[in-house]
Structure formats: C-alpha cells, structure tokens
C-alpha cells in the first residue's frame, strides 16, 4: 500500500482519451542514448529501435499524468518518492500513469536525492514496458532537454530536406514523356512502398512499387472508394488513412469531383510522407484533369452532332478554331503503348484536350493557332493547317509525317505544302491518270503504302522498314511485287517520279 502521506491516485483513463502526440519531429531514443556527452544508460524496459520521443519534460509530481501530452521523456530526481514506497504499489501506480498519459520513456537522475535507481521502479518499468534511463550525476536535466531539442532540430532539417528533394523529383517526373507512371514510381520510391492511380470507376489505371499482399491491395482500393465522389454519397473527405496488418494506407481525391484517386501504401509512416503524397496528388490532379474549363461539355456536344449527321465544319466552332492541325505521335524508341492518362498529358502539352489514344499511335487535334513542337520522349508527325472539312486529309498527312519522322529518327516532321509541277495538271485529270497507273496494286493497301513510303525515303530499305514496322526483307519483297504488277523499272528515276505524283493524287 502507498504511504499515508501520499495523495490518492485517481484511476487511469482509457487509452482512447489519451491526448495526441504533439506534432513535432520524433527523435529516436537510441540517438539520445548514443550521445556520449550525456552518459545515459537504459536499465529497464524494452530496447525497441523504433521507440521515439517528442520532447523532454521535468516533473517531481507524484502523479505526472495531468501535465503530460504524450511522447515525452519524463525526467525526475525522485523527490516525490516517499520513504516506504518500495514496500507498496507506489511505483506501479506511478509508472502506469505515465504509460496511460502516453509517456515514451522515464529518466531517473542520480544525486542528490537517490544514489541508485530504486529496484521497485526498475521492476515496474519492466512490467509496464516503459524504457527507464539512468541519468548520471554530472548530467543535468536541462542538458538532456537541450540534447533532445538539438536532435529534434536535426530531424526537422532532415525532414525538410527530404520533402524538398521529393518535391523536386516529383516535379521532374511530371515533366517526363510518361508523367503519370513516372510520378507514381517516384512517389513509391520516396515512401518505400507502393502507389496506385484509380480511375473514376475504381479500376487501377497505373501503379508502381510492390504491395505487401492481396489483402492490403484490396484494403487500399476500399479506402480509395471512401474519398471518391459518387451519386448519393454527399460530401466526401479529400483524404483518408488506415492501417492493415502493420501497413499504413492513405487515399487522396484528385481534383474537384473528377473521380480519380491516388492510393499510397507503406510499411511505415515517416515524417513528411503526407506532404510528399500531397504534392504527388496535386501533380496527378493536373495531369488527369480537364485541360480547359468546360471543354468536356463542348466535346460531348460536338460528338453528338457528328453522330447525328452534322458536317465537321458545323461542329468545329464548338471546339474553338477555324483552322486545325492533326498530330500523330508514338513513344520514342519503341516504348510501350501509351495509356489514356499519358496520352491526355501529351495533349495538354500540345495545347489540346482532343486526344485519341487508340493503338500504338496517339492522335491529337490541335487548334491551328497553336504551333505543335517536339515533345521529349515522343516522335511526332504534324499535318498542314486545314479547315474542318479537310480533317480526314490532315489525318493522312500526319500519319505519313510520323512514318517519315520514325524513319529518319527525327523528333518531329511536318507535312510541307508548296506550289509544285503537279499543280499545273487539272485535279480531275491527275486523279484519273493516278487510278489507271496504280490500278494493278490499288486492291492491296500494303503494296500501295509500302511503295509510297519507299519512294518518300529515296528507296531506303532500312528506313522504310522502320517507318512501316516491318522487316527490311518484307519491304524488298513488296517493292519487287509492285515492279512486277506495274510492269515498271523502279530503278528508273522517271518512273519513280511519275509513280510519286500518282500516289500523291491517289
């Protein structure tokens, strides 16, 4: 029993009522013990490497609970300990109150009150798993507090440096040709976990890093649903966190009601992780959002009118512009086929939200007042500026310009139009001559396109093979077949010129 002079100890509150740990950078207890100038020694409690303290507090109160916020290294010289404390429950009550308040560790100073740490206190700290440090006589409590603040300042500086470096790397990733996967990869690396981008329908669009197991993947998807807006859900939070099996999960809604969600999972939650993930969420919001306000409704209206029979020139005003340029683009170096989000990012870089990401080629319809420029990581072919009724012709021009760009390994090739000798021939006569001359191969599109590409590249087998994504032997076989069917000597420059004029009209 405690000494009669000791005030009664009120019962400890439940863990749910424990005040939160103060928002300061935590300091590993091991770092404080490593300070040789302090000479601290742990004599009880667990020696867990993940034990951290948030500040140091000195108190000689028999019940320090009301004065603790949680996360402290509580320092005491034992002034409050009654003489008969060792024979009762005083130390058990004292240590249990520190643990209930969320205290991280207890430091006991030797001299002038006690020459040694009471054995009952050591036993109580072991029983309640509270780290107990022996503070030697030459070390003042103010010196310990100063060391904690020094370590805390170093931790804050390291945290700011980590966040700054992460911001820079995420911004650089957002400028890459594959911005969305690059941002996710960089985020996963920075938090030592994995990151996922979910679409408005909850389907995973892209991801990076490795998840712990299937259960955490499912839990992260469920957490993403919490922040995803939906009909009848009302207001939803912009972010949510959870922990499953020791894995920390977080979900961030992207943009204003877009439905895209960033999910992050990591085996630990370090200071600055939330800030880093928030930066990634902002970047992904920009990459997945609408490029122009209201453009979605305008594109929808234009599509409906086209499907209902309107001519392109009638719907073009909805999209903004009288002249247009068509851009065909493929990832440089035969990279993987672009996904919808990466294609959207390319469109944003070119100044248009009118993007088609079908197949290996991304097609972008760009207003004529915006000059398409070469894009890092992409090979582009650009048509001449045309009116809406010439969109189909411009699409063909862009495809041919892209083929030439790939063959010549140029980042961007434009379709050039200037007056030529062919313009001296009436169009109707030119078309009739072209149909007659090319009739033997006109029913085989592969032969026609191979001949056109081969002539445009001055008879280069290798460049033609690259432009058409076929083997050079296939090009040779097709050209030889063209020569046989046309009954022409394709080594003759006059024959080549006549065929080129015919293919231009065909």
Closest CA to 261 of 300, 215, 207, 209: 207
Do the domain assignments include residue 256? yes
pLDDT tens digits, one per residue of 178-187: 788 889 999 9
Q: Using pLDDT thresholds of 50, 70 and 90, give the confidence band for residue 422.
A: low
Give the strand order in the sheet containing 105-109.
41-44, 132-135, 105-109, 72-76, 55-58
pLDDT at 421 exceeding the cut of 60 = no
Of 165-169, 279-283, 429-433, give the lowest mean pLDDT range: 429-433
On average, the pLDDT of the chain sits at 83
CATH number at residue 493: 1.10.10.2840
Q: What radius of gyration do the chain's Cα atoms show?
A: 36
Indicate whether 232 pLDDT > 70: no
State the Cα–Cα distance between residues 253 and 369, nearest whole angstrom.
34
Shared-domain flag, residues 26 and 146: yes
Contact 228, 196 (CB under 8 A): no
In this predicted structure, the answer to whether residue 505 has a pLDDT above a threshold of 90 is: no
Last residue within a domain, chosen from 288, 306, 332: 288
Q: What is the model's pLDDT at position 11?
A: 43
Q: What is the pLDDT of residues 162-209, one digit of tens each?
A: 888 888 888 888 877 778 888 999 999 999 999 999 888 888 888 888
CATH number reported for the structural domain that contains residue 25 in this entry: 3.40.1390.20
Of 298 and 180, the one with more pLDDT:
180
Q: How far is CA 494 from CA 59, 419, 435, in A?
A: 102, 20, 18
Asked whether residue 157 is domain-assigned, the answer is no
Rounded to whole angstroms, how far apart are CA atoms 280 and 190? 11
**Domain boundary, last residue among 380, 414, 448:** 414
**496 and 458: one domain?**
yes
Last-in-domain residue among 375, 392, 414 = 414
The mean per-residue pLDDT over the stretch 253-275 comes to 83
Structural domain contains residue 298? no
In angstroms, the CA 311 to CA 411 distance is: 34
Report d(CA 84, CA 76) in Å as an integer: 18
Are residue 105 and residue 34 in the same domain, yes or no?
yes
Provide the 3-class DSSP secondary structure of residue 253.
Answer: strand
Is 155 inside a domain boundary? no
In the predicted structure, residue 385 carries a pLDDT above the cut 60: yes
Q: What angle do CA 379, 381, 384 make, to 5 degrees?
A: 155
Q: Which two tokens stand for residue 227?
A: 């922040």
The answer to whether 352 and 367 have CB atoms below 8 angstroms apart is: yes
Residue at token pair 């009301």: 66
pLDDT at 3 over 50: no
Query: Is the same domain home to 135 and 239?
Result: no
Q: How far, rounded to the nearest angstrom, does the alpha carbon of residue 56 sit from its chain's CA centroid?
A: 38
- 179: domain CATH number is 3.30.450.30
What integer pLDDT is reported at residue 500 of this predicted model? Answer: 85
The three-class DSSP label of residue 34 is: coil
Condensed to tens digits (0 to 9), the pLDDT of residues 63-106 reads 999 999 999 999 999 999 998 887 789 999 999 999 999 999 99
| 140 and 46 together in one domain | yes
384 and 444 fall within a common domain: no
Angle of the 445-456 helix axis to the 427-442 helix axis, nearest 10: 120
Percent above pLDDT 70 for the chain: 87
Asked, for residue 402, whether it belongs to a domain, the answer is: yes
- Cis omega (within 30 of 0) on the bond before 454? no
SS3 63: coil
- Counting the structural domains of the chain, the total is 4
Q: Which of 74-78, 114-118, 255-259, 434-438 has the lowest mean pLDDT?
A: 255-259
| Helix, strand, or coil (residue 362) | strand
What pLDDT sits at residue 5?
41
Per residue, the 3-state secondary structure of 122-178, as one string, reads HHHHHHCCCCEEEECCCCCHHHHHHHHHHHHHHHHHHHHHHHHHHHHHHHHHHCCCC
Task: Confirm whether 30 is domain-assigned.
Answer: yes
Q: What is the pLDDT of residue 249?
A: 92
Res 289: pLDDT = 65
Kindly state whether residue 2 falls inside one of the protein's structural domains: no
38 within some domain: yes
Question: Across the strands, what pairs with 261?
Answer: 198, 253
* 191 and 249 co-located in one domain: yes
CA distance 62 to 293: 64
Q: Are residues 50 and 133 in the same domain?
A: yes
- In this structure, are strands 105-109 and 132-135 parallel, antiparallel, or unpaired? parallel
Which domain, by its residues, includes 348? 320-414
What would the pLDDT profile of 19-70 be if each residue is shown by its tens digit?
444 456 788 999 999 999 999 999 999 988 889 998 899 999 999 999 999 9
Q: Within a 10 A sphere around the Cβ of 452, how many other Cβ atoms?
A: 20
Q: Do 210 and 228 belong to one domain?
A: yes
Same domain, 124 and 23: yes
3-state SS, residue 102:
coil
Looking at residues 466-493, what average pLDDT do you find? 91
| Residue 298 confidence (pLDDT) | 67
* Among 112, 115, 119, residue whose Cα is nearest residue 141: 112
Is residue 4 pLDDT above 50, yes or no?
A: no
Q: Which of 70-79, 162-171, 382-391, 488-497 has maximum average pLDDT?
A: 70-79
Statement to judge: residues 406 and 434 lie in one domain? no
Residues 460 and 429 in one domain: yes
């Amino acid at each position: 029993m405690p000494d009669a002079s000791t005030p009664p100890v009120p019962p400890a509150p439940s863990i749910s009522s424990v005040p939160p740990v103060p928002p300061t950078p935590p300091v590993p207890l091991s770092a404080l013990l490593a300070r040789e100038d302090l000479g601290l020694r742990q004599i009880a409690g667990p020696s867990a490497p993940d034990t951290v303290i948030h500040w140091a507090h000195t108190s000689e109160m028999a019940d320090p609970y009301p004065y603790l916020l949680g996360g402290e290294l509580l320092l005491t010289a034992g002034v409050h300990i009654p003489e008969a404390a060792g024979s009762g429950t005083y130390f058990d009550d004292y240590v249990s109150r520190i643990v209930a308040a969320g205290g991280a560790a207890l430091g006991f100073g030797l001299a002038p009150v006690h020459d040694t740490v009471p054995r009952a206190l050591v036993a109580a700290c072991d029983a309640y798993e509270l780290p107990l440090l022996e503070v030697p006589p030459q070390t003042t409590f103010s010196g310990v507090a100063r060391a904690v603040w020094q370590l805390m300042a170093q931790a804050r500086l390291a945290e700011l440096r980590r966040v700054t470096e992460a911001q820079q790397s995420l911004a650089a990733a957002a400028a890459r040709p594959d911005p969305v996967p690059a941002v996710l990869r960089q985020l996963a690396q920075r938090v030592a976990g994995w990151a996922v981008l979910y679409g408005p329908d909850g389907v995973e669009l892209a991801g990076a890093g490795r998840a712990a197991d299937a259960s955490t993947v499912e839990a992260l998807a469920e957490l993403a649903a919490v922040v995803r807006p939906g009909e009848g859900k009302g207001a939803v939070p912009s972010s949510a966190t959870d922990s499953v099996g020791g894995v920390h999960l977080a979900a961030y809604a992207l943009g204003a009601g877009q439905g895209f969600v960033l999910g992050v999972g990591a085996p630990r939650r370090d200071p600055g992780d939330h800030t880093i993930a928030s930066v990634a969420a902002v970047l992904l919001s920009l990459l997945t959002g609408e490029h122009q306000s209201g453009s979605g409704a305008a594109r929808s209206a234009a599509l409906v009118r086209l499907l209902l029979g309107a001519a392109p020139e009638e719907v073009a005003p909805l999209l903004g512009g009288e002249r247009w340029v068509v851009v065909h683009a493929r990832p440089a170096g035969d990279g993987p086929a672009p996904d919808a989000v990466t294609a959207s990012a390319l469109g944003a870089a070119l100044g248009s939200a009118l993007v088609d990401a079908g197949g290996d080629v991304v097609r972008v319809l760009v207003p004529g007042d915006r000059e398409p420029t070469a894009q890092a990581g992409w090979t582009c072919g650009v048509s001449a500026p045309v009116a809406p009724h010439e969109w189909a012709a411009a699409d063909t021009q862009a495809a041919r310009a892209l083929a030439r760009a790939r063959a010549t390994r140029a980042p961007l090739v434009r379709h050039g139009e200037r007056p030529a000798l062919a313009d001296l021939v009436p169009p109707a006569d030119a078309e009739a001559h072209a149909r007659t001359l090319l009739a033997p191969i006109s029913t085989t599109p592969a032969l026609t396109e191979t001949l056109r590409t081969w002539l445009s590249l001055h008879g280069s087998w290798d460049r033609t093979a690259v432009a058409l994504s076929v083997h050079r032997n296939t090009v040779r076989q097709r050209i030889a077949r063209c020569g046989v069917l046309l009954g022409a000597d394709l080594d003759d420059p006059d024959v080549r010129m006549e065929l080129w004029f015919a293919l231009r009209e065909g």
